[in-house]
A and B are shown apart, each in its own frame.
Chain A
Amino acid sequence: MTINKEKVTISDENEDFSSVEVFSKIGVGDLELLVSLLNEYGNKLLNICEKIDGYHRKNDLQDSVVIFSGIVGFISIFFFLTSYLSVSLKSLPSWFSLVLFAIFSLFVSFPVSLFVGLVVVLFFSSFFLLSSDIINIVNRNKKDLKLLLTEAKMIALRLEKIVRIGYQFQEQLAPNRMRKIEIDLRLADAESALNRYSTIQQERKPFVKYFFSL
C-alpha cells in the first residue's frame, strides 16, 4: 500500500522477456496514506464495536425478560399444582400431606392458593402470548449481531495488518522524529480499537442463550 508499484516490461525483437517489478522508495505521501488508513480502519472498528456493544446490552435485556417469563411460568405451574394438591389433600398419604403442609403452609388454605395460583397463571399467560414475539426479536438481533461480528473480524484483521506495517514505519522507516510521533499516536488509537474489539469479542454469552437459541 505504501509502495508505488509500476511494471516495466523489457521487450525484444525475437523474445518476450518476463516482466520485472520495480518498487520505488517510500515517500511522504505513503506515510500520509498509512496514517489515513490507520484512522479509517480504526474508526470503522470502533464504530462497529459500539454497535456490537449496543446489541449485547439489548440482548441482555431480552435475556432477562426471557428468564423472568420462564421463572414466572415455573412458579405458576408450581402454585397451580400446590392449589390442586391442597384441594385433594385427603386422598394423599399422610406423610406427603405433612411435608406439603410444612413447606407450603402459607398456601395450604384453598382460597388463598386458588387466588395466588390464578393471578400467577394469568400473569404467565401474558408472557406466554408474548413469547413468540420475544423469540423473534431475539433471533433477529442475533442474526444482526452475527453479521456485525463477522464484519468486525474482517476489519480487525485488516487493521492488524496496517498496524504491523505501522510498527515497521514507526521504528525503522520514519524519516524524522515528528513523523515518528505522529505514527506513534495513530498506532495508539488503532491499538485501542483492536483492544476494544478483543474485549467485545471475548464477552461471554449468557448461559440462557444456549437454552433459548433457535
Chain B
Amino acid sequence: MFVETLNAASTAITAIDLADKFLHTFKRTFKRLKDGELQIAILGANGTGKSTLGQLLAGKSTIFNLLQSYQESLNFEENLIDSKDFGKVIVVPGQERLHDSWDNLLRNIIQGKINVVINVVSWGYHSFSFSSYQDFPFYQSGMTAKDFLDAYAQVRRQKEQEALKKIINSLLLTEVAKQKKKKLFFITLVTKQDLWWNDRLLVKEYYQNGWYENQIQILRNKLGSANFVHEYCSASLIIQNFMSGIREMIAPTTEGYDEQYKEANLNLFFTLLEAFSDISLNKKEV
C-alpha cells in the first residue's frame, strides 16, 4: 500500500515536471512569436571588456578563456545567450576605425529589433595588446607606470566619449527616433572595478554627474522617458592586474577587492539585465 502510494506520487511528480517543462517551452515559443528573438547589443570602445562580457553571457566564460591575453576583435561577435529563453548577444568591434560598421546594428536598435543595449566603459582602463606602455606617443622619459596610466586613461576616456557620441547621434536621428515604438533599455556598465575600486567616488562622479550623463539626458529627452530606460552598473568581469601587451605591470588589482565583491556586483548587473530583457540567465558565476 505504502509502495503504491509512493509510486503514484512519483508518477504525479514526473507528470507535473513534464507539464512544467512543456508549459515553459510553450511560453517561450509564444513569447518568441509575440516579441521576436531577444537581442542584446554590447557596444563601447576597444579594450573595455565587451568580448569578455559577451562570453560571460553566452556561458563561454571558462577561466581559461578569460585569462587569455587581450586580443582585438576583428568582426562582430554573435553568441546565443546562455539561458532557457531564446536570444543572442551581439558584440561590436570597438576600434574607432570600425565604428562605421555599427550602423546596421544601430539601425536595428532604432527599429526596436534589439531590446537591450549595453555600453561598456572602464574608466579609461582599456586593455591593449602587443606593445609596451613606453611605446605610446605620450610616454615621456622618466614616467612611471602610474603616470602613464593617468595619461592613458584620460586619452581613452575620450574614446569612450566618442563611442557614446556615435551611439547617441545615431539614436537621435529625428525622423527615426519618432518612429521608435518599443522601449529601449540602455545599461552603462563600468567594468574593471577591481582596478579603480579605490577611486570609485571619482568614477561615479565622472559618469553620473558629468558629460556622460548629459549625453544620456539628451537621449532621454529626445526619446521620451517612457521609451528610454537607462541604468548605471559597475562590475569586474575578472579580477586581473592591468598589464601591458608585453606583460609589464601597469596597475595591480585593488587590495581587498576580492571574489565576494566581484560576485556581488556582477550579480547586481545580471539581475538588472534579467529585469530589462525579461529572461532568466543560466550561469552567473565565472
Residues of chain A having any CB pair with chain B under 8 Å: 3, 23, 25-26, 160, 163-165, 167-168, 170-175, 184, 187, 191, 194
Contacts and interface: CB of A to CB of B under 8 A. Distances in A.
A90 B72 CA distance: 78
A171 B245 contact: no
B191 interface: no
B104 to A, nearest CB: 15
Given A160-B74, A165-B130, A171 B46 contact: yes
Contacts of A160: 74
Determine chain A's interface SS by DSSP, over half rule: helix
Interface string B112-130: 0000000000000000111
Interface in B133-174: 134-137, 159
B135 A167 contact: no
B97 A170 contact: yes
A164 B129 contact: yes
A173 B131 contact: yes
A187 B74 CA distance: 11
Nearest to B96: A171
Contacts of A3: 131-132, 246
Contacts of A171: 46, 95-97, 159
Contacts, number: 49
Interface in B76-107: 95-97
Nearest to B45: A171
Given A160-B74, A164-B71, A174-B137, A23 B128 contact: no
A17 B1 CA distance: 82
15 contacts: A3-B246, A23-B246, A25-B132, A26-B131, A164-B74, A164-B129, A164-B130, A165-B129, A167-B72, A168-B129, A170-B95, A171-B46, A173-B131, A173-B136, A191-B74
B74 A173 contact: no
Closest 3 CB pairs of A and B: A26-B135, A164-B72, A167-B72
